[in-house]
Structure 1
Amino acid sequence: METQPKPEIELIERDGEVTLSIGGEQAMQAWERDLMWASADMLCEYGHDFYEVGLGLGLSALRIANNPATRSHTVLELFGEVEDLFRARHPKLPGNLTIERGDFFQHVFALPSESIDGMFFDPALDMEVWTNADLWARTMPEVVRVLRPGGVFIPFFSTKPELRWQYLPHFTSIRVERHPYTAYDTTEYTYGTSGDAYIQCFRKC
């Protein structure tokens, strides 16, 4: 089997903007802070033990770990370089925060059933992954299995007012909050650089 080359990963700080770039693409930017914090705060309403997919700049990871309700928070990150950049900026981490390495679409099958109260999902994925219906059909039942009753799955915010088809068939209770946002003028991954963003919270009944 041919091994895929590792993407180039760099933290770009220029003209007051902070961008995590993976494979030449904008994976995350610092302007997202308030939206990431709002997502993290919502997650922490639902329990004490949490799991996060995708470390990024660590904005949500630190917010979740530092919430008084949080007993444990584990972050799964695919790329070692992303973790290295994060640790360089944050050498002292909360004691309840653990960072693990791995591919979520393989790792999720090994997670214990009903072991977490909430999962925040914000990995850097290629478009071919986002559009792979068979992959999501295999993966999302595992996410539901891992959640405790009443637990929640919160993906990263959307700047389009529509529920994500990848997750919708697997949950019957969905909470949506609307938040204003202003991105950088150079931001490429939102629908416009200002407007409304939508945080979607899918709850296991």
Structure 2
Amino acid sequence: MKNQTEPAIELIEHDGEVTLSIGGEQAMQAWERDLMWASADMLCEHGHDFYEVGLGLGLSALRIARNPATRSHRVLELFDEVEGLFRARHPEVPDNLTIERGDFFQRIFELPSESYDGIFFDPALDMHIWTDKDLWARTMPEVVRVLRPGGVFIPFFSTKPELRWQYVTHFRTIRVERHPYVAYDTTEYTHGTSGDAYIQCFRKD
């Protein structure tokens, strides 16, 4: 029986749709590919050493690692099962890609200062974490500390045209790109199944 830190994790492939399910919730779907690639490409404009939180289907991880600019890319994943599913689909990965296990809200305090040019942030988090103002107030200064000058923090895309309160007060320079998207009819985590998605890039000045 799974406990709270070990939810049921499965890869569901049905009628041409690919869904990573964590704890019965849609954590990620394959239709996101173009948005994840656009986010990864934006990240790679800003240096050579990158860190990613949340492996998911590995769409952004592989895109970042395969970018000619990338020297190293480390991915932090909380669950063994997610990495297992990824490696089953991708038995060979770039040499500059490493995957490690851990909880972001602990690991960020352990990372060296000014050690990364960019952080891509796309973990599967429960709603009570997203709404915990004290947690984000403690965490985001550590994110800024870990970034090199000119480095960027890119969270997963939003389908609402608003800056995320968790991050916005910690950065002065913010770049936003709008991209069209079409999700699956069964997608539950977007505001509608088509429209515009917004990639937000927060830069450390």
Answer whether TM exceeds 0.5 for this pair.
Answer: yes
Confirm or deny that 1:95 pairs with 2:102: no
User: Take 1:11 and 1:62, find their aligned partners in 2: how far apart are those partners?
Assistant: 18
The match for 1:122 is 122
The match for 1:52 is 52
The match for 2:191 is 191
Q: 1:107-159 CA deviation, whole Å, 9 max, x = no partner?
A: 10000000000000000000000000000000000000000000000000000
Q: 1:20-70 CA deviation, whole Å, 9 max, x = no partner?
A: 000000000000000000000000000000000000000000000000000
The match for 2:138 is 138
- Please state whether the residue corresponding to 2:166 is helix, strand or coil: coil
Amino acid at match of 1:81: E
Following TM superposition, by how much is the alpha carbon of 1:5 offset from its aligned partner in structure 2, in angstroms? 4.9
User: Take 2:23 and 2:110, find their aligned partners in 1: how far apart are those partners?
Assistant: 28
Runs of 4 or more consecutive aligned structure 1 residues displaced over 2 Å after TM superposition: none
- Please state whether the residue corresponding to 1:166 is helix, strand or coil: helix
Question: Equivalences for 1:70-89 in 2 at 5 Å?
Answer: 70-89=70-89
Following TM superposition, by how much is the alpha carbon of 1:6 offset from its aligned partner in structure 2, in angstroms? 1.5
The match for 2:64 is 64
- Please state whether the residue corresponding to 1:180 is helix, strand or coil: strand
User: Take 1:104 and 1:10, find their aligned partners in 2: how far apart are those partners?
Assistant: 22
TM-score (norm: length of structure 2): 0.98
Amino acid at match of 2:163: L
User: Take 2:146 and 2:5, find their aligned partners in 1: how far apart are those partners?
Assistant: 31
- Identity %, equivalent residues: 86
Confirm or deny that 1:10 pairs with 2:10: yes
Structure 2 unmatched runs, 5+: none
Amino acid at match of 2:15: D
Q: 1:74-94 CA deviation, whole Å, 9 max, x = no partner?
A: 000000000000000000010
The verdict on how the C-alpha distance between 1:144 and 1:5 changes in structure 2, with shifts beyond 3 A counting, is closer
The match for 2:43 is 43
User: Take 2:106 and 2:124, find their aligned partners in 1: how far apart are those partners?
Assistant: 15
Amino acid at match of 1:182: V
User: Take 1:147 and 1:108, find their aligned partners in 2: how far apart are those partners?
Assistant: 11
- Please state whether the residue corresponding to 1:19 is helix, strand or coil: strand
User: Take 1:90 and 1:9, find their aligned partners in 2: how far apart are those partners?
Assistant: 18
User: Take 2:132 and 2:162, find their aligned partners in 1: how far apart are those partners?
Assistant: 18
The verdict on how the C-alpha distance between 1:115 and 1:101 changes in structure 2, with shifts beyond 3 A counting, is same
TM-score (norm: length of structure 1): 0.98
The match for 2:152 is 152
The match for 1:202 is 202
